[in-house]
Amino acid sequence: MEGGAPKESLALSEVKKQLRLALPLAVACFLQKIILTISLMFVGHLGELALAGASLATSFAGATGFYLMMGMSSCLDTLCGQAFGAEQHRLVGVYKQRAMLVLGLVSIPVAVVWAFAGEILLLIRQDPEIAARAGSYVRCMIPTLFLFGQLQCYVRFLQSQNLVVPVMLSSGITAALHVAVCWLLVRRLGLGASGASLAIVVSNFFNLSFLAIYVRLSPSCKKTRLGFSWEPFHGILGFMKLAVPSALMMCLECWAFELLVLLSGLLPNPKLETAVLSICFNTYVLAFMVPTGLGFAVSIRVSNELGAGRAQAARLATRVAMLLSFSLGLFLALVMVLSRKRLGYVYSNVEEVAMYFSKMMPILAVCFLFDSMNSVLSGIVRGCGRQNIGAFINLPAYYVVGIPAATIFAFFCHLRGKGLWFGIFCGVTVQMLLFLSITLCTNWNKEASKAKDRVFCSTSLDDTKTSCTLQANGCSSDGNVAQGTTQETNYFVDCSEG
């Protein structure tokens, strides 16, 4: 008993830490997601054509822009999290500014794509009227693209320091404000669908401004906030080596679910299939905010502990997160199954739609349980900085197994919408098994050493460049460098050995 007591108390402490992080993050994710939904709700009262255009535009914006911004910024889960764990606070600010610079540059070509969204949608054989409405909606959202990328950098920056409550509060205030802005622009000023799109711009600007002011004024960010510096302009190539796999890891998974909706339109009775699949997808996404919050929480915990050199603490965090994910996933899956007959009528009064939805729900629930594990396992991968492995896993899981299986079950086995979800379930299962294998076989001491190398090699490079710059200006930098590396001397890594 005495030997097991410390382990039990450590595990319980870890559970509390993760839940304190996961709950605000889950709420924040839900509130950020609902902004797009609120705009669609206002557009829905303008007519069927307007709603169809706005829905298509939202999917296009997500597939070509939002997923990319979220994916690239997720590399800060690794970089800022490990730097904060290693108490290299200035480096946390450097990473954030570097990410803001890169995402700002990446937004430019994506904005060009958005400017021609209507023409692109016509090329992929979308209805001309719907494509024109979607193109106009996306063009009004172009400023959102730049704001959203910067917003994600601030969110990840604060998350890595365990400052999650401000993110939740900012998202909550923004969501409430968004309703008022939508009413003003759509109803009061009569701007129609364009007003709903512009409301997204306003709300993202407010959210970004709130977090920027918080970072600027809060004592909690005193050590990590950074004024203007040339340091973020260095090491961009190294940043991209982690940011690109991070983006691929997220985009490959999100694109697979978007393809599912497109395939539903090719089934017999496409109106019924698309309607039911859209309801299933919305239910899935809303419920998935819980494991998403837990995935962010374990990413923070793992990156912080690895950065601090506590390999076994990181290992404990992964075990606790997997147990929590399975428990919460099982609970929510049971809720889905038990409420399936009533839940369909929440979305539609058409009996055919509600009954078809209730038949789909058991498959959806099992898929959700496995995907809940994937959310946490993906968070562990991000915490370790192994996004390249994550991208390599998602590619075959969804595009060698998932989508081909969905096509076979839906069209050749005539299972229709059930077949599409069953195919995706196959992809999710393969993804989970591969991620689980990688996690269970992880050498945590080695991961802690790699995290230390990543942090202090970056610190050494930045210190060297600062020293060279000061010497070139005829100044002595010995005092500044010594002061900037006081903590590093206790935890130094010879980068040449890495």
Stretch 281-286: mean pLDDT: 83
* pLDDT, tens digit (0-9, with 9 covering 90-100), for 247-281: 999 999 999 988 887 787 777 877 777 778 877 88
pTM of the model: 0.85
pLDDT at 413 over 50: yes
7-16, 290-299, 458-467, range with the lowest pLDDT: 458-467
pLDDT at 27 over 60: yes
Distance CA 85, CA 314 (A): 11
Chain centre distance of CA 387: 13
The pLDDT assigned to 238 comes to 84
Most confident segment among 49-53, 273-277, 377-381: 377-381
Place of tokens 């910024």: 73
> Rounded mean pLDDT of the chain?
85
Distance CA 344, CA 350 (A): 9
Most confident segment among 4-8, 229-233, 251-255: 251-255
Place of tokens 């890595």: 160
The pLDDT assigned to 377 comes to 95
C-alpha distances in Å from residue 226, one per residue of 19, 80, 93, 236, 364: 30, 13, 5, 17, 45
Instruction: Select the more confidently predicted residue: 323 or 274.
Output: 323
Stretch 204-225: mean pLDDT: 92
pLDDT at 31 over 70: yes
Contact by Cβ (8 Å): 345, 354: yes
* pLDDT, tens digit (0-9, with 9 covering 90-100), for 57-94: 888 999 899 999 999 999 999 999 999 998 898 999 99
101-115, 422-436, 466-480, range with the lowest pLDDT: 466-480
The pLDDT assigned to 462 comes to 52
Stretch 357-371: mean pLDDT: 90
| Conformational region of residue 115, where left means phi above 0, alpha means psi within -120 to 50, and beta covers everything else | alpha
The pLDDT assigned to 284 comes to 87
Confidence of residue 439 (pLDDT cuts 50, 70, 90): very high
168-177, 277-286, 445-454, range with the lowest pLDDT: 277-286
Instruction: Select the more confidently predicted residue: 242 or 8.
Output: 242
In the chain, DSSP finds a helix count (H) and a strand count (E) of 21, 0
Domain boundaries, the chain: 24-233, 247-467
pLDDT at 483 over 50: no
- Dihedral angle of Cα 7, 12, 16, 21, to the nearest 10 degrees: 50
| Conformational region of residue 304, where left means phi above 0, alpha means psi within -120 to 50, and beta covers everything else | alpha
Counting residues of the chain whose pLDDT is more than 90, the rounded percentage is: 55
Stretch 234-246: mean pLDDT: 89
Most confident segment among 138-152, 272-286, 450-464: 138-152
pLDDT at 7 over 80: no
pLDDT at 171 over 50: yes
Confidence of residue 8 (pLDDT cuts 50, 70, 90): low
CA atoms within 13 A on the CB side of 464: 9
Helices (H), 45-141: 48-61, 67-73, 75-85, 89-115, 117-123, 128-140
pLDDT at 470 over 50: no
The pLDDT assigned to 196 comes to 92
The pLDDT assigned to 455 comes to 83
* pLDDT, tens digit (0-9, with 9 covering 90-100), for 107-146: 999 999 999 998 998 888 777 888 898 899 999 999 999 9
